[in-house]
Structure 1
């Protein structure tokens, strides 16, 4: 066999049939209900009870509602692109596998490497938030961990290892190793409970809304800051955009879905509609209950607003369900991330042992690896150091997805009679442009960190991946 040059390896495109054959060993056990639960569980995970208050106080005021709608519209474009790609190519690995087929090995690897950062950091962030809520819950009963085990490394506060954060990820890893049927059933009930309590918050909160708290709806822009006006709305949309990694979580499990050509578009688009409605409802009610500046540096604005309004029982119920909701987000993130690592091993870009399946048809090695890495990141590294990377990889993946749809229609080797993104090529191009716009709105620290992460990924490819694929 003729030896390929490095450039030829970087540009070679994977055969769709090859991926279909490889992923055929994964068991198709997930239906539309399970996939929507997984997507909604990720999108409205840790952020639904915290992000509306934070974004309102720091960026947009009551116009946080517009920030959520703007983020949803841009994410909706990406959702349509994901739906077409997942329908045409129901492979594990989502945007990584699609880019490998459409653009070639190196672009596919960089796309996968970017989204891997999203999974790892999102796992670390959510596990840390879950730990904080759980410790607060236990403190009401007089229980408190030794300071060293309360949070990740912070020399000023004397903390060094987030014990509860690590245990939460360890438990999720164990459940994932037990099989998707069991964990999907748990995820369904967790998400149903969370949606019911979000609706309860909206209904109860409406009784405390004062219309004057929404005036002015769009605060005046404060020069030299990101607060107020159109720039504040845009900055707010950028901050909450990372939540829509839920689309990738759905797509990453395409190979384990029953009837993916029909299920994937319905699950992705359904997730967007339901999650956006819940986000907007919480944001509108929250900013109507109290002036937006009251939520500054408030880690639990929704529960606080209910307590201050005299709804103590609902506030306590919401705090408990916030724990459940974050747990369901961890479930979806770990499963999606493990399937991405499985895909890397499947193609030889990481050790092939990561693609080995156990007797249950599960990539247990990939699950163990992402569990260990997430524990180290979430329990040891300061979250403030990781948070800046969150949205960059998601936006990069959405850009690649939009471009991939433009190329997909020209591929005769991929069946074209499945779900198609409407108004082609206008909407795919708009997907790319709007995602680039938000990407450029990130702060410079986030952009530099993302570039640094991509450089590390390129080195991993050159030193290992290109020699083993």
Structure 2
């Protein structure tokens, strides 16, 4: 396409970029994560508010017991994209996830659009899962006989007297503090909390299956198949945690081997747990009686198992922290990659001199997430997240097809099966789910992208050429 503005040369916005890793002696993130830790971080990112809170809200208002179908549809779309992500993760073990992949294959401006989009989406999901936690905190304090001020128990419009969700805000800031302790320390805490969360989900399933009443599952799809699909578009953020996992590539000991395995393992484990938990929730309580804020705890209390409900609430609170951890880590590593590449001021992506983590980006993301968590209802935050991630999935699935046919010779730690059918199914599923999101969500998404293009034109286009000069990268370096 030449060296015009729309070309792939040094001046072109479609030049393919893949900045080299820092030279010896320069600050870089420590490689401390193995396969087990990566898999548990992925599980920690996937299982959280999606199952503990959002499943109840979707079951009651959108899908009924067919919320099970909602999760299966979302999972089918996600697994197609997961194969594409896994192939890229085995080729491009760099921080930045789909931003880095798209920049290397589809060009700089496409990578910028995805990176800018995901900065908002990752921050929004940290807010969404923190909001989901506050309902269980409310359940716990009620069981303890403590009356907290009503004004601090939810965002405006979520209940009488609610002014701000202070608990969710404090969680966001607490996770930012934990991440700034260093990757090794925070990852160990995350692994412990993830194990606790998995144990709680297994408790829900094992005990809950004994309390299922098949009469509660009728009618199975009271809102029709359309309701199940609309539910899938809402719960989708609950099944793509591996996307945030891929942003930790430069902190993985053997990224090309371990990242693809960790992505697919974490998604497979979580889909089995999701399916069983949905059956338990809508089988224990009729969908019209499901509590959207504290679903499982309230369900167990309704059948006389209040003690189990309390244990679940504690596990939900601890478990949801791991989701906030994974996505805030993803957002800060994405910001680090974009700053390193010159698309954002390098000050934002600077690493802490001792702990070697992007501390400034982490605190900013924690602060913005806290504001969103304090003022938005959980469903609005979830839908704001989903449209951006679905958009990124479309581009990554397209990119993996382009790369396979453009450079089939490049070494790959993992090869997406069923090429090109599987990635194209990922595109189709993602576009289909996007059509079920509200018009307001599309407007917000469009406005954010417009702001991003203004930033790219005014700052990023020139700044990145000083940091990463030259034309399109030789993709052969991926094999080295």
Please give the TM-score of this superposition, normalised by the length of structure 2. Answer: 0.89
Q: Out of 271, 277, 301, which is 2:266 matched to? A: 271
Structure 1 residue 385 displacement after superposition: 5.5
CA gap 1:437/1:19 in 2 versus in 1, 3 angstroms: farther
Distance 1:348 1:109 in 2: 11
CA gap 1:308/1:136 in 2 versus in 1, 3 angstroms: closer
8 Å CA contact retained: 2:60, 2:288: yes
Aligned to 2:469: none
CA gap 1:211/1:163 in 2 versus in 1, 3 angstroms: closer
CA gap 1:361/1:9 in 2 versus in 1, 3 angstroms: farther
**Cα deviation per residue 1:199-246 (whole Å; 9 max; x = unaligned)?**
111111111112232234334xxxxxxx22x21221111111112331
8 Å CA contact retained: 1:33, 1:188: no
Structure 1 residue 129 displacement after superposition: 2.7
Aligned to 1:319: 313
Q: Out of 165, 180, 184, which is 1:181 matched to? A: 184
**Cα deviation per residue 1:1-30 (whole Å; 9 max; x = unaligned)?**
xx98586342111136x2576998221111
**Cα deviation per residue 1:421-462 (whole Å; 9 max; x = unaligned)?**
011111111111111111122122212221121111111111
Structure 1 residue 411 displacement after superposition: 4.9
CA gap 1:409/1:155 in 2 versus in 1, 3 angstroms: closer
8 Å CA contact retained: 1:92, 1:343: yes
Find out whether 1:131 has 2:134 as its counterpart.
yes
Q: Out of 461, 467, 475, which is 1:466 matched to? A: 461
Structure 1 residue 387 displacement after superposition: 4.5
Structure 1 residue 339 displacement after superposition: 0.4
Aligned to 2:433: 438
Find out whether 1:72 has 2:67 as its counterpart.
no
Aligned to 2:255: 260
Q: Any unmatched runs of 5+ in structure 2?
A: 465-480
Aligned to 1:408: 403
* Structure 2 SS opposite 1:378: helix
Write out aligned runs for 1:69-468 (5 A): 69-152=72-155, 159-219=162-222, 227-228=223-224, 230-295=225-290, 298-358=292-352, 359-380=354-375, 386-412=381-407, 415-468=410-463
Greater alpha carbon shift after TM alignment, 143-152 vs 84-93: 143-152
Aligned to 1:27: 30
Aligned to 1:224: none
* Structure 2 SS opposite 1:197: helix
**Cα deviation per residue 1:343-370 (whole Å; 9 max; x = unaligned)?**
1111111111123222332222221221
**Cα deviation per residue 1:36-79 (whole Å; 9 max; x = unaligned)?**
12111121111212233222222322222222111111100011
8 Å CA contact retained: 1:346, 1:354: no
8 Å CA contact retained: 2:14, 2:108: yes
* Structure 2 SS opposite 1:394: helix
8 Å CA contact retained: 1:56, 1:63: yes
**Cα deviation per residue 1:308-361 (whole Å; 9 max; x = unaligned)?**
111121111001111111111111111111101111111111111123222332
Structure 1 residue 198 displacement after superposition: 1.0
Distance 1:6 1:425 in 2: 27
CA gap 1:125/1:26 in 2 versus in 1, 3 angstroms: same
CA gap 1:21/1:166 in 2 versus in 1, 3 angstroms: same
8 Å CA contact retained: 2:54, 2:292: no
Find out whether 1:46 has 2:49 as its counterpart.
yes
Aligned to 1:223: none
Greater alpha carbon shift after TM alignment, 253-262 vs 381-390: 381-390
Q: Any unmatched runs of 5+ in structure 1?
A: 220-226
* Structure 2 SS opposite 1:25: coil
CA gap 1:417/1:299 in 2 versus in 1, 3 angstroms: closer
CA gap 1:388/1:67 in 2 versus in 1, 3 angstroms: closer
Structure 1 residue 127 displacement after superposition: 2.0
Please give the TM-score of this superposition, normalised by the length of structure 1. Answer: 0.91
CA gap 1:173/1:199 in 2 versus in 1, 3 angstroms: same
